[in-house]
Each structure stands twice: as structure tokens, then as C-alpha cells.
Structure 1
Amino acid sequence: MSSFTRFSRFSRPLLPALGLIFSLTLSGCGTRTEGETADTKATAEVPAQPVVVDSAALKKQVMLRDSLKADSIVKKSGQLPGAILPGKRIIAFYGNIRSKGMGILGREPKEQMFRKFEGVLKEWQAADPSIPVQAALHNVTITAQGTAGKDGKWRLMNSKATIEEVLSWAKEHNCILFLDVQPGHSTLQAELPKLEQYLKDPIVHLGIDPEFSLSTMPGVRPNQKIGTLDAKDVNFTINFLARIVSENKLPPKVLTVHRFTRKMLTNYKNIKLDPRVQVVMHMDGHGEPTLKKDSYHDYIQTEPVQYTGFKLFYEYDARPKPHHIMTPTEVLTQLTPKPLYIQYQ
């Protein structure tokens, strides 16, 4: 909604590197040689003829086979083993552990922050005892920047040490971890492979932020205009995660897609779901409750994809008075459908 004013989330951050673009090479594929013909009557050996293997086509066959297998499991049980949604409600603290300005994750000292988080989790469990809560940390790992950098892409990735530290925090406190990507003037196709090594961990999931995706807007600095992603970008991300799930025999990944305007995500009807990836369309705007509810209705409820999310801002939702941060009970009774992913910034 155009009346939403977003504040800069720039800071020094982020970094993970991972994955390959799944339409590229498959490890172990390439050329191979058939064995020599075993003909004991032959008087001379016949040189083996090399057989060229189309690795891209082979990979497609593998993906299709895995996808069909996943579909068959879903038809029998409703979802793949280990799926988080819809059996749990994810409650996440968002930010960057190296920045006090990006969100509650990083704003307060670690132990103080986790004490607050424990209280929030109890509030949500009390508001809806019918579904268990799943604690999550949502760390912005590739962050849009206020300067272009050496390659002119206006984004920076967290160091390996930072990513490993926030992962250790998650494991210490029984949380899952989301690595969030603000691609700046780069692309998801270029940035997501940097994170693959971390996404092989079963507790690590992914978030993508169209607000800071500006590759189609030459010359625009992050935070000057709201960026955009298309269904094809979301589909690339889904396929990227689905491959990691299949190759590493993981439970389904959760993918959050931030959204608070219509143009942030184009052609949503073309998004193709895969049971190995659970997609959350996440209402990411701040403001007074009526405005937030209207945006949830307009951009999340009326343009459904799969699951839904809702963000609450400790600093911005309560300003100016008498506005307030919506309570768990308010969120659950005033939003349809009830969101299964809740994020605090």
C-alpha cells in the first residue's frame, strides 16, 4: 500500500553463499564410456565409443522423478514428513545480529533478547493452544546497502563467522533459522547459490525480499523505490530449495516472501508450488492496525499462494500514539486466514 513508509534496514551485514543454479551441472554427470563388448569370439578388440550424456536433461529427469515421488507422498498423507506447516505456527524474531538498527534480532543483548522472545512465545501459545509454536530467528544475511560496492550490486553478505554464530544461537534455543536475502541490484539467481551450504542444514530456511530487489531499476538506490520480484523469481527459488531437499534427503523447506504492495510481486498466479517447499506470503508493512489489516487483505488474502504471514514492528507500529502493536489475540481474531508465520522486527 502506497501509504506505507518503509525505513532503511541498511547496516553493515550479510553474507552466506550457496547453491548452484539447479539448471546447471549435476555432480558426477558429463561423459562416460560404455564398457568394451564382451565377445569371446572376436579376434580384435573394438574401441569403445564414448556416449555423450546430456547432464541438463538427466538432471531434469531426476527432478521430475523426485517431484513425482513427493507428489505421491502428499496425496497419501497430505504433506511430506517433517513439514512444519500447517502443524505449527512459526514465531520469528527478525534483524541482523551485527546490527542494532535492523530489528529486535541484534538490537538487544543476546540473553535479554531471548528472555523477551520466550515471553512472546508464551503469549502466542496462550492465544491459540490448539497449535504449537515453533520459535525462529530470521537473520538478514544478504543485505541491500547504501553504497554500490566494488561490483556495483548494492548488497553485502554476512561473513561465514556471523552466519555460523546466528546458527549456533538458533540451535542453543531450539529455533529454526531463516536466512533472508535482499538482492539489491544483483539477482536471486546469482545470490542464492552462496547460501546452499547452510541450507543443507535441516533447521535452515529462506526468506526473499522484493522490496530490495532492484535489478530491473537501473540507477535506483535501495530504499529510494520499492523493488519487485516476479513469479519466475519465486519459482526459481522454489526449484532451488526443492533440489537441496531432494539431494540431501531433508524435510521440506519454508520460504517466506515479503510483500506489502501489489507491485512487489507480479504474476503471483504463475507461482508453481512444490511439496518440498512451503511458501509463506508475508505481509511486511508497518503502521496502525487498520492499515496493516487492509494490506493483509489486499495483498495476501485476495492473492493467495499457500500459507500466510504477518509482521509486527516494535518501533514503528506503535507510532504515533495511540497506535499500538497488535496482540496475538487481535491478529488471530481479525485476520483471515489466520497467519501461520508471525515475525517481530
Structure 2
Amino acid sequence: MSYFRSFTSLLPSLGLVISLASLPSCGSRSESDKPDTKQTAEVPTTPAPVDSLKLKLAIMRRDSLRADSIAKKNGQLPGAILPGHRIVAFYGNIRAKGMGILGREPKEKMFRKFEGVLKEWQAADSSLPVQPALHSVTITAQGAAGKDGKYRLMNSKATIEETISWAKEHNCILFLDVQVGLSDLEHELHKLEPYLKDPIVHMGIDPEFAMKTKGVRPGKKIGTYDAKDVNYAINFLARIVSENNLPPKVLTVHRFTQGMITNYKNIKLDPRVQVVMHMDGWGNPTLKKDSYHDYIQTQPVQYTGFKLFYEYDPRPAPHHMMTAKEVLAELTPKPLYVQYQ
């Protein structure tokens, strides 16, 4: 459905008034009613300029209210993925073997493994259909400052488009993940807007590598986002949904420490964006379950996620990577987003 109505219906709410000149009647007029032809014609006044920012904000407020109304009536907006599905994702970068299972193995071998994982999750919980996903680190924190000193690098257009084609070939949705380094979301997210207009493309933000408030390069400390940063990402995605008549976007927010997200109670939800707080830590099952409890379960936002690491969770022996059945049996609430790295 469209979130828009005619431009003119918004003008009164913006304090813009169109003045219409009085029109003469069709009947005859007396001499006193006739215009004085010797008078100088009145010069039309110039219409007041439209405040484009004010108009844009008014549209966003209206669309937000309309989305809230639809969600309250129907439970959610049409096309919403959660909570009617469980998203299962492979994470990484198709150009990097070291970032995760996505890219670590040859494409066809990786997708055969992925198919097995999807079947495992569907067997573990037949009540929810599994939505396969690729989660691609698209703006990546760097050890080198780069020309602008921001310690981050964006994938090429060719790499992003190839990743999108992989997703479409295998009926996956796609998450574009953002690690801002010493930059910030305001300067990075707009770079992804052309891709986010595609209904299958969603977004992740990773506070671990958000270093602006830390003042050091990525990797030296664990970074942080405040609720206002998460809200910025939500509003950014909500606008794209409204402007392009899209189903709701999913936003994943990585977290595995207390300090990675501050003021979580101030995160403002919007039906156009489904927020997943994603437990991103690696280690033995007990440690992972404790982190999920402390930073996800006891500090709820909307939906929850859980990450499994092929390389790091099994170390040291006899630890192991949790199975789908173990995750569902031992975590409350049961995560609706599961990611493999």
C-alpha cells in the first residue's frame, strides 16, 4: 500500500496558505462595480517558498502514524518477516576467507552446507518456516586509516551486486552490515540506500567497530552505539520503506557486552523496521547463554538473535558449537534470527 497522499493536502499543516482572488458573479454590474481602468493593475504576490525540510518531516510523521495505525489493527505491516519466520543467515564477505563462512569456502560448497543448516533448523522447529539469509559485511572496519582517517572501507559496487545476485539465486534475503570505524551512521548509511530499495535487502549495524566516541582505531577497544544511533538507523530505514512502498526492513544490532549499547530503553520502535538485538559473542555454550541472558533477554528491545561460530565456539575441546535443538531448548526467548560465522 502507498503511504502518500497529495501534496496540497499537506500545505495547511505546514502553515502554507493558497489565497484565491474573489471572482465576479455572472450577472450584470452597476457602474460603481466596474473597475477603474485608470488604476494601476495590482502586481501578483510571489507565493511563499515551500520549506522542503518541514514538508519532509511532516511526511515522515504522517507515515509513522499511518504505519502505527495499520500495525495496531493487523498486528504488523504487510510483508513483515518477523515473527512469522525464523531467519537463518550465513555471515561474512564473498571476497574474504577470514570474515566468516560466507566467502570462506567456494560458492557451491558453501551453499550445500547452508542447505544442510536450513534443514536442521526446520527439523528442530517445524512450527516456523525458515527464511534463509546472507549477511554480508559491506562497510568494513580497517586497521589502516585511509585517505580520510575514518578506518573503514566500503565494498565495490560489483561486489555488492554480486552478493545480491547470490542471494536471489538461492531465495535468500540479504543483510548489508556496517562497521563505521571512526565515521558514523549519518555519513555511512546513505551509501547503501540504492541497494536498500530492493525488497530483499536489509541491514545490520555493528557497535563493536563504532569508535568515534572511543577515539582509537578499530580493534583497540570494543566500540559503542547509543539508543540515538540505533534510532537514526531505524528512521533511515523507515523513510526508505515509505518512499519506495516496501515491506518492513529488518535491522540487526550486534551486541555481546553491556557497553556496546547504551540507553537501550530509549530505542524507539517503528512498524516499518523490525529490530533484532543479536548476541554476537563466541565461546563455550555456558558463556554464550549467560551473555544472551544478560544483554539480550534482560534488556529487551523487540526480537532476538544468536550467533554461532564454526571456528571459535568449539575451542578449546571439549566445547562445541551448539546445535539448533540446543539453542531452542536453552535460550529464552527462542531467537528468531540465527547467524553462522
User: Do both proteins adopt the same fold according to a TM-score greater than 0.5, normalized to the shorter chain?
Assistant: yes
Match of 1:248 among 228, 244, 248: 244
Report the CA distance between 1:61 and its aligned residue. Answer: 1.3
Aligned to 1:229: 225
CA separation in 1, counterparts of 2:227 and 2:21? 50
CA separation in 2, counterparts of 1:215 and 1:35? 50
Aligned to 1:101: 98
Q: Is the CA contact 1:314–1:344 (under 8 Å) kept in the aligned structure 2?
A: yes
How many residues are treated as equivalent by the alignment? Answer: 315
Deviates more, 1:46-55 or 1:301-310: 46-55
CA separation in 1, counterparts of 2:238 and 2:301? 17
Select the structure that is richer in helix: 2
Matched, 1:142 2:144: no
Report the CA distance between 1:34 and its aligned residue. Answer: 6.3
Matched, 1:193 2:190: yes
Select the structure with the greater relative contact order (CA < 8 A; seq sep ≥ 6).
Answer: 1
Matched, 1:325 2:321: yes
Q: Is the CA contact 1:33–1:49 (under 8 Å) kept in the aligned structure 2?
A: no
Give 1:278's aligned amino acid. Answer: Q
Aligned to 2:292: 296
Aligned to 1:14: none
CA separation in 2, counterparts of 1:73 and 1:176? 24
Aligned to 2:154: 157
CA separation in 2, counterparts of 1:45 and 1:232? 52
Structure 2: tracts of 5 or more residues without a match: 1-10, 25-33
Q: Is the CA contact 1:33–1:48 (under 8 Å) kept in the aligned structure 2?
A: no
Aligned to 1:17: none
Report the CA distance between 1:53 and its aligned residue. Answer: 2.1
Q: Is the CA contact 1:284–1:311 (under 8 Å) kept in the aligned structure 2?
A: yes
Aligned to 1:176: 173
Matched residue SS, 2:271: coil
Report the CA distance between 1:288 and its aligned residue. Answer: 0.2
Matched, 1:268 2:264: yes
CA separation in 2, counterparts of 1:167 and 1:106? 14
Report the CA distance between 1:64 and its aligned residue. Answer: 1.2
Matched residue SS, 1:280: strand
CA separation in 1, counterparts of 2:295 and 2:63? 32
Aligned to 2:114: 117
Aligned to 2:61: 64
Matched residue SS, 2:48: strand
Matched residue SS, 1:129: coil
Matched residue SS, 2:153: strand
CA separation in 1, counterparts of 2:71 and 2:17? 38
Aligned to 1:204: 201
Q: TM-score, normalised by structure 1?
A: 0.88
Give 1:232's aligned amino acid. Answer: K
Report the CA distance between 1:39 and its aligned residue. Answer: 5.3
Q: Is the CA contact 1:36–1:48 (under 8 Å) kept in the aligned structure 2?
A: no
Matched residue SS, 1:272: coil
Matched, 1:343 2:336: no
Give 1:302's aligned amino acid. Answer: T
Q: Is the CA contact 1:135–1:174 (under 8 Å) kept in the aligned structure 2?
A: yes
Q: TM-score, normalised by structure 2?
A: 0.89
CA separation in 2, counterparts of 1:299 and 1:33? 51
Report the CA distance between 1:75 and its aligned residue. Answer: 1.1
Aligned to 2:234: 238
CA 1:198–1:204 in 2, change beyond 3 Å: closer, same or farther?
Answer: same
Matched residue SS, 2:122: helix
Matched residue SS, 1:263: helix
CA separation in 1, counterparts of 2:122 and 2:265? 33
Matched, 1:50 2:47: yes
Matched residue SS, 1:281: strand
Give 1:199's aligned amino acid. Answer: L
Instruction: Provide, for residues 81-134 of structure 1, a one-character-per-residue CA deviation record: whole Å limited to 9, x for no partner.
Output: 000000000000000011000000000000000000000000000000000000
Instruction: Provide, for residues 33-76 of structure 1, a one-character-per-residue CA deviation record: whole Å limited to 9, x for no partner.
Output: 96985757766252232302222221121111111111111111
Matched residue SS, 1:142: strand
Give 1:248's aligned amino acid. Answer: N
